[in-house]
């Protein structure tokens, strides 16, 4: 047929296409998202590792600085050196001490003292300084005296070894604070350079150290030593911050350009520690992650497509079964059944389709039966119409008599309605007043309930307050006892401090008797004495505070006792108020019940009044309607005669239609 529409079976392809879209889009998004996050995570981890290595290197160098400063400080305060520095015959003994120290400290290359009178005491001995050499004219001597503290020089190359060294110096004063000279140590940076060379950051990253003028003093690649680090971008960042990180480009012997530099400063030396990371390492790892994620995504997509193809075939088979059953039903076979046993939506559709076909079959059977009965009944309808026409003439006379009686009844009903309306107005006034009384009574009951709840809460809060005040009193008394115990402990500590002070004094006296051998013990005894005096002062201060706390806690106990008395009085008052409100509530409930009873009676009376008025109004309306209806019935009966003849004609047509309907139902296949 030309008008028949053709349908394409493309559901299978649509399901597969939709499945691919639904799976591939999230996979692509998640793959790229994972790569981006992985790249960021790699950068963050490299930054953290780089910063951690720089902190470790900083700690190592700071330990190197602290250790040498402590040793130099001991030399500047050594009683043997201070007492014998101006004695030329004791120089050999001092040099012997220097020799012992250098032999036990491999990083110290030169240890010397420049005296105030331009003598040079050193180890190793220096014969190449010349007769005109004056230690007091050197920069390190002048700077140490001027700043009066330990000072560090800039790194420089030792003429003898060619290695980088650094000099640390400190002035020497006698007991009268008179300048005796400056003691200095030349320290090799070889150990620090070795540590820096061993640091590996990532696969190719490395660390290096810059002096305050951006000269490389330690580097993984030795050819970079003594060279200026001329990267303006990095130098500006270092000059403005104590620590941080920056990305910069610089070609090196590896050939890579872009790097991430993490730096931190050692202020006491003016050094900057820098760790370099190559960005191509991050990019290489990111590419590896991207490839792995891409392979996983392809595998997942392949599996998903296979599942989608299998599922779509299953759906297609089920849909074909449904289409076959629907086509059979569309061609008039109402005995067809769709056999799909699955417990899903397809099973539900098949079940509902079978029910629909069964219902249609039953419907057409009933239609066929009814069409036969309809032809039979239409014949009876024609004969009944003729009989009805004859009966209507007799009814017309009786209705005229009924109309007269209805008019008289309507007049009497109107008189009764006027009297009942006046009675209803009085009942409405009574009902309105009683309703207002009932509303006011409910308000009183609600207010009384709210007040009782508030009083109950107040009573509970008062009881809680009494218990809390009692607990506070017990806690404060316990605190007062604990404070007294602390005072006794402080007295004991004070006594121990005094005994320690005496013992330290005795130890100092014994150390002085021991001479040189007891000097170290004398220092320890003096420190113990200072600690004992500090402990005594601290315990006296704590004792003063404890006494203040005891005075305040005693006052607090008195206040709490007074508060307990007041709370007890308040509690009893609240209980009395609660009892009074309970009596009021009982009386109000009795009044409310009486008012409810009166209101109920008035409402019943009002309802009865309304019923009476409605009944009278209905009677009046019915009487009037009866009168008018009888007139209408008379006219209707006349019209009925003509209508009955029309019914007879319609019955003939109905008989013909029932025959046509029976022929159409015969076209369907029924059980």
- The pLDDT tens digits for 288-311 are 676 777 787 788 778 877 787 777
pLDDT above 90: percentage of residues in the chain:
14
Which residues, 6+ apart, have CB-to-CB distance to 605 below 8 Å? 427, 430, 431
What are the DSSP calls for 32-66, one per residue? HHHHHHHHHHHHHHHHHHHHHHHHHHHHHHHHHHH
Average pLDDT on 523-551 reads: 75
In the predicted model, what is the mean pLDDT of residues 181-190? 92
How many whole angstroms separate alpha carbon 70 and alpha carbon 283?
A: 47
pLDDT of residue 152: 92
* Residue 631 pLDDT greater than 80, yes or no: no
Closest of 504, 507, 495, 492 to residue 531, by C-alpha = 504
CB 442 within 8 A of CB 600: no
CATH 3.30.450.20 domain locations along the chain:
44-281
CA angle 531, 518, 496 (to 5 degrees): 30
Give residue 149's pLDDT: 93
CB 280 within 8 A of CB 46: no
Residue 272: band (very low, low, confident or very high) from pLDDT cuts 50, 70, 90: very high
Q: CATH number of 44-281: 3.40.50.300, 3.90.650.10, 3.30.450.20, 1.10.3720.10?
A: 3.30.450.20
Q: Which CATH architecture has domain 408-639?
A: Orthogonal Bundle (1.10)
List every span in the chain annotated with CATH 1.10.287.950: 408-639
pLDDT (average), residues 76-81: 93
Is residue 210 a contact partner of residue 191, using CB atoms and an 8 Å limit?
no
Give pLDDT, residue 174. Answer: 92
What's the alpha-carbon Rg for the chain, to the nearest Å? 58
pLDDT tens string 645-670: 677 677 677 767 767 776 666 666 66
Question: Quick one: CA dihedral 238, 244, 248, 250, positive or negative?
Answer: positive
pLDDT at residue number 353:
73
Judging by beta carbons within 10 Å of its beta carbon (0-12, 13-18, 19+), is residue 523 exposed, middle or buried? middle
| DSSP label of 191 | H
Residue 321 half-sphere exposure toward CB, CA atoms < 13 A: 18
pLDDT attached to residue 112: 94
Pairing of strands 151-152, 164-173: antiparallel
Mean pLDDT of the chain, nearest integer? 77
Higher-confidence position of 306 and 518: 306
Task: Give per-residue pLDDT as tens, 20-39.
Answer: 787 777 777 777 776 677 66
Interatomic CA distance for residues 276 and 251, integer angstroms: 12
Mean pLDDT to the nearest integer, 364-384: 68
Strands across the sheet containing 258-266: 216-219, 206-210, 271-278, 258-266, 243-249
Burial (CB count within 10 angstroms: exposed 0-12, middle 13-18, buried 19+), residue 208: buried
Give the least confident one: 237-241, 439-443, 622-626: 622-626
Residue 2 predicted with pLDDT over 50: no
Q: What is the pLDDT of residue 1?
A: 45
The CB-side HSE value for 90 (13 A sphere, CA atoms) comes to 9
- pLDDT score of 122 more than 80: yes
Q: 211-220, 331-340, 631-640, 648-657 — which one is most confidently predicted on average?
A: 211-220
Give CA–CA dist 490/478, Å, rounded. Answer: 19
Q: In the structure, what pLDDT confidence band is assigned to residue 476 with cuts at 50, 70 and 90?
A: confident
- Other beta carbons within 10 angstroms of residue 395's beta carbon come to 12
Closest CA to 262 of 282, 283, 277: 277
Question: Long-range contacts for 466-470 (Cβ within 8 Å, ≥24 apart)?
Answer: 466/564, 466/567, 466/568, 466/571, 469/560, 469/563, 469/564, 469/567, 470/564
Show the tokens assigned to 82.
Answer: 């201070």
Q: How confident is the model over 384-415, as pLDDT tens digits?
A: 666 666 666 666 666 666 666 666 666 666 77
């Amino acid at each position: 047929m030309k008008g028949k529409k053709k349908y394409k079976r493309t559901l299978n392809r649509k399901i597969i296409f939709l499945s691919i879209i639904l799976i591939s889009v999230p996979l692509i998004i998640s793959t790229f998202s994972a790569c981006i996050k992985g790249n960021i995570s790699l950068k963050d981890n490299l930054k953290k590792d780089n910063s951690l290595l720089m902190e470790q290197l900083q700690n190592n160098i700071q330990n190197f600085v602290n250790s040498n400063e402590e040793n130099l400080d001991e030399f500047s305060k050594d009683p043997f050196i201070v007492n014998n520095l101006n004695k030329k015959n004791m120089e050999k003994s001092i040099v012997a001490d220097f020799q012992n120290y250098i032999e036990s400290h491999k990083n110290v290359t030169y240890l010397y003292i420049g005296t105030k009178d331009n003598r040079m005491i050193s180890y190793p001995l220096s014969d190449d300084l010349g007769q005109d050499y004056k230690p007091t004219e050197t920069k390190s001597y002048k700077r140490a005296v001027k700043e009066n503290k330990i000072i560090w020089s800039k790194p420089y190359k030792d003429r003898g070894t060619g290695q980088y060294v650094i000099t640390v110096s400190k002035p020497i004063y006698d007991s009268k604070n008179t300048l005796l000279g400056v003691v200095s140590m030349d320290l090799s940076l070889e150990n620090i350079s070795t540590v820096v060379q061993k640091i590996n950051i990532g696969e190719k990253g490395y660390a290096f150290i810059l002096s305050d003028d951006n000269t490389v003093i330690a580097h993984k690649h030795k050819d970079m030593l003594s060279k200026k680090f001329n990267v303006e971008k990095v130098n500006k960042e270092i000059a403005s911050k104590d620590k941080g990180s920056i990305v910069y480009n610089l070609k090196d012997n590896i050939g890579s350009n872009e790097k991430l530099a993490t730096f931190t400063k050692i202020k006491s030396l003016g050094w900057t520690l820098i760790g370099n990371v190559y960005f191509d390492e991050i990019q290489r790892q990111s590419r590896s992650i991207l490839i792995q994620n891409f392979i996983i995504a392809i595998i997942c997509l392949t599996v998903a497509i296979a599942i989608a193809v299998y599922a779509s075939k299953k759906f297609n088979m089920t849909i074909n079964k449904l289409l076959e059953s629907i086509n059979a039903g569309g061609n008039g076979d109402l005995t067809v059944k769709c056999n799909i046993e699955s417990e899903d939506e397809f099973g539900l559709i098949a079940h509902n389709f079978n029910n629909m076909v069964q219902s249609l079959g039953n419907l057409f059977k009933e239609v066929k039966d009814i069409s036969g009965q309809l032809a039979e009944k239409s014949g009876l309808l024609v004969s009944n119409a003729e009989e009805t026409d004859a009966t209507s003439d007799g009814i017309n006379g009786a209705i005229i008599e009924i109309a007269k009686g209805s008019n008289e009844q309507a007049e009497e009903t109107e008189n009764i309605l006027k009297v009942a309306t006046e009675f209803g107005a009085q009942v409405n006034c009574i009902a309105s007043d009683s309703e207002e009384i009932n509303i006011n009574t409910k308000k009183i009951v609600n207010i009384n309930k709210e007040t009782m709840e508030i009083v109950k809460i107040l009573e509970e809060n008062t009881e809680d307050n009494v218990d809390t005040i009692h607990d506070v009193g017990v806690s404060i008394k316990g605190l007062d006892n604990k404070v007294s115990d602390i005072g006794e402990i402080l007295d004991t500590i004070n006594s121990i401090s005094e005994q320690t002070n005496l013992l330290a004094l005795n130890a100092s006296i014994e150390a002085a008797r021991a001479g040189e051998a007891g000097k170290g013990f004398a220092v320890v005894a003096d420190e113990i004495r200072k600690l004992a005096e500090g402990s005594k002062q601290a315990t006296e201060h704590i004792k003063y505070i404890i006494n203040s706390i005891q005075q305040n806690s005693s006052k607090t106990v008195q206040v709490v006792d007074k508060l307990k008395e007041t709370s007890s009085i308040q509690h009893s008052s609240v209980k009395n108020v609660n009892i009074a409100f309970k009596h009021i509530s009982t009386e109000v409930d009795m009044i409310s019940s009486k008012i409810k009873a009166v209101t109920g009676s008035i409402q019943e009376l009002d309802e009865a009044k309304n019923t009476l008025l409605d009944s009278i109004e209905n009677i009046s309306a019915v009487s009037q309607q009866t009168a008018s209806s009888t007139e209408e019935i008379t006219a209707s009966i006349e019209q009925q005669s003509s209508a009955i003849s029309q019914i007879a004609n319609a019955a003939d047509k109905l008989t013909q239609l029932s025959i046509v309907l029976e022929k159409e139902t015969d076209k369907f296949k029924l059980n």
